[in-house]
Amino acid sequence: MDLLNVSNFIKDYEDHCSKVQRKHFKKNETITTYIAKRNQVCILVSGEADLIRYDYNGNKTIVEHFNKYDIFGEVFYIITTNNELFVRAKQDCDVIFLVYDSLKHKCKSNCKFHQSLNENLSELILQKVTTLNSRIELLTKHSTRDKLIGYFSILSTRNLSKSFKLPFSLTDLADYLSVDRSAMMRELKSLRDEGFIEKNGNVVTLLYK
Amino acid sequence: MDLLNVSNFIKDYEDHCSKVQRKHFKKNETITTYIAKRNQVCILVSGEADLIRYDYNGNKTIVEHFNKYDIFGEVFYIITTNNELFVRAKQDCDVIFLVYDSLKHKCKSNCKFHQSLNENLSELILQKVTTLNSRIELLTKHSTRDKLIGYFSILSTRNLSKSFKLPFSLTDLADYLSVDRSAMMRELKSLRDEGFIEKNGNVVTLLYK
DNA sequence: AAAAATCTGTTGCAAAAGCAACAGAAAAGT
DNA sequence: ACTTTTCTGTTGCTTTTGCAACAGATTTTT
């Protein structure tokens, strides 16, 4: 599906349908907290945001990183008491809030946008599955080095370039890859020393192959 | 959605629609290999199966474990050349094969089952997302011990009991949790010695809380 | 029933990751 | 422009993980 289409759908949907909210968030604000049974689906219309989890030890994990038109929300989660999950704006963001159950049933005004969004939603969810699978692939790598290389090659592929900007600070990158920051820094240094990568600020360039 | 309904839908769909295949597999047979652009969606109708990945180092990972009515298939994946992904039957299995694109468009006979399956499919995909998110939660745990405890409490919750049967051999469990087998065995021993769990064969009982 | 293959449990040693702490750089807030 | 906060880069030390190897138990195959 074309991203522009999503945008148009959202615009139309918003105009015709109740149960849809659009909100603006400033940098660092909390967009939503994952609370069970809300059935919440969110679409990021502009900006960037992270889904963050703190577990019972206080360990922070960046579970996902969201860009324009990514969907997120508590419907996708089994909420347990051991975790606190919330989405934080990394820049100013616009977000559409929907209720999943209300999508499945027709709305009162029987609007055609309802059906359209419904169809598109399954496409968006499918995209989410592929994203999550890539994430799992990263996390199952056995070493910090393999995680770094794996993540870099994802970014490289996505940017169609050997050079790309990291969407995270290094501190956050460690939380995303689920590794110790100091160990990651060490590995990053080795990768540079061994000539695998180049790094200037938050721009990384792959030198291999 | 009720599982029985899925089953009925599948039965009806099969009877009315082309582009649907049902096949039987014996234990240890390969159900499917993930090859790009196939657009394949599979539904496990009976039996159990694992999605297995071998990376370029020959490292084996059990990416997912499938039970009755789980869906899987290459549509959910971005296939890279570094990986070999396939699904292996752990017992005799029955599997329905669909082509994702053909689901989105109406079939020639314009059958009502098409639409029904389509709707249900989005529900099934949503379920998949929640499963994958639980998996990510497991994999982001920092120690082998936390992974074991986390996995055990998932099984315990799912079985509504402090006791449950592991669906894996210990060798496979290590590949599923993405840890070294010997390290896992050590940790398992400590958990037993410290009185957190009990283990008889492949039945584990949680003793805490 | 015997042979082959796989799985479990264990160990010693090597390598990697985690922890804590700190100083300088950079960014954000006032 | 100055202050405060966060981020980067680094290190010494400890703990955990990974590797390789092996023997006995269990399961599967012939």
Q: Kindly report, residue by residue over B11-53, the tens digit of the pLDDT.
A: 666 666 667 888 999 999 999 999 999 999 999 999 999 999 9
Q: Tokens 């949790």 correspond to what residue? A: B177
In the predicted model, is pLDDT for residue B134 greater than 90? yes
Flag whether residue A59 sits within 8 Å of chain B, measured between CB atoms.
Answer: yes
Say yes or no to pLDDT of B64 above 50: yes
Q: A86 φ, ψ to 5°?
A: -150, 160
The full set of domains in chain A, from first to last, is 3-132 (2.60.120.10), 141-206 (1.10.10.10)
- Whether A126 has its CB under 8 Å from any CB of chain B: the answer is yes
pLDDT confidence of residue B184: 98
In this prediction, the residues of chain A whose per-residue pLDDT falls under 70 are: 1-18, 106-115, 209
- In angstroms, the CA of A184 and the C1' of C8 are apart by 34
Q: Are A39 and A101 spatial neighbours (Cβ–Cβ below 8 Å)?
A: yes
- pLDDT at site B16: 62
Predicted TM-score (pTM) above 0.85: yes
Partner-chain contact B76 A178, CB within 8 Å: no
Nucleotide nearest to B181 (CA to C1'): D18
Per the prediction, chain B carries an average pLDDT of 88
- A29/chain B closest Cα distance in angstroms: 24
Query: What residues are paired with B62 via a beta bridge?
Result: B52
A130 touches chain B (CB under 8 A): yes
pLDDT band for position B1 (50/70/90)?
A: very low
Cβ of B75 within 8 Å of Cβ of A140? The answer is no
In terms of Cβ atoms closer than 10 Å to its own Cβ (0-12, 13-18, 19+), residue B166 is: middle
Distance in Å from C25's C1' to A70's CA comes to 34
* Cα-Cα-Cα-Cα dihedral sign, residues B145, B83, A179, A53: negative
Please state, as a whole number, how many other Cβ atoms lie within 10 Å of the Cβ of residue A166.
17
Query: Structure tokens of B123?
Result: 């529900």
Count of CB contacts below 8 A, A vs B? Answer: 80
For residue B4, the model assigns a pLDDT of 47
CA distance B195 to chain A (A): 21
Nearest-angstrom CA–CA distance, B96 and B207: 40
Residue B2 pLDDT > 50, yes or no? no
Which pLDDT score is estimated for A113? 64
